[in-house]
Chains A and B, each alone.
Chain A
């Protein structure tokens, strides 16, 4: 208990001087809306991400992948009572549940916070031959032509794509890349992506 308060104090102190992933407001709101466990998960995530800032990309990828894979899988219908919904990282972690898109989103924004160039990451629509269903993973590209590393909620290891024979790639999507192109014409990106960005900005939990 004492340790928790110390961490919270240190977090608050550091947040006053450095940019944090989770703002104090979000933390307060999570505590209010959900429970102490949820708040702890956020504190824990912030602590973990702070510790990764100076680490190598591969450590960042592995740690983030492992951390978020701890969250339980739950379909959008069960979770939000709608067939398809892209949850913000805060909703995902606060509820401690989500579907494959929610893992991808949480990992993407965490890695982006840790300094990974968004252009190197893609939301990849894949077909899972194991589960015989549509699935989404986060892929990381060292270079545009290099073999990507796959961050999958069904697999705790970050593996090269060639090792993931159980997955068939269908389509790559990167909202930030599209946004950069759309911004020039003052246009939107895609409905899902725009809605997600808006919810993140609003701090939707």
Chain B
């Protein structure tokens, strides 16, 4: 029963979602609302709680045992607490001035900064990776070169550079991406069918 019940539930919900997708009727809407929209957030809340508890326990342990860089854990805990408290409904929720201030002047500054740092790593990686070591690597190098120079103000040369870059994106890139997309799509369908029909059971564990 321990293994059969999850398999039965999975089959029922999987079959329902497939059926519901093709039936845009009001009764179908009602079941969709109940099954698909209400349940996942409930499960998600438990998963989120687990994550938050785990984060607090790990960070608190680091602070308590004074492991190297424990100061970062203090910042983590302080940030977590301040955002949760500021976002509580009694303080105005997401519209509270403190929450908005923290979001605007901390989150909205830190996240783009972290993302922008990638450009330095990309530059370093491009310098090392784009070497004409072989014929294939040379093709990659030339393609990257053309796609990058399409932005350059080169006078009359700008138009052929832009059209060649556009051709590279719309023909060879498109062919490769399409092959990958179709392959991945077929893989998803077959895996989903195997899971719904109970053929693929590895997610149940060994017990």
A, B from the same assembly: no
Q: Which B residues form the contact surface with A (CB < 8 A)? A: none
Q: Which A residues form the contact surface with B (CB < 8 A)? A: none
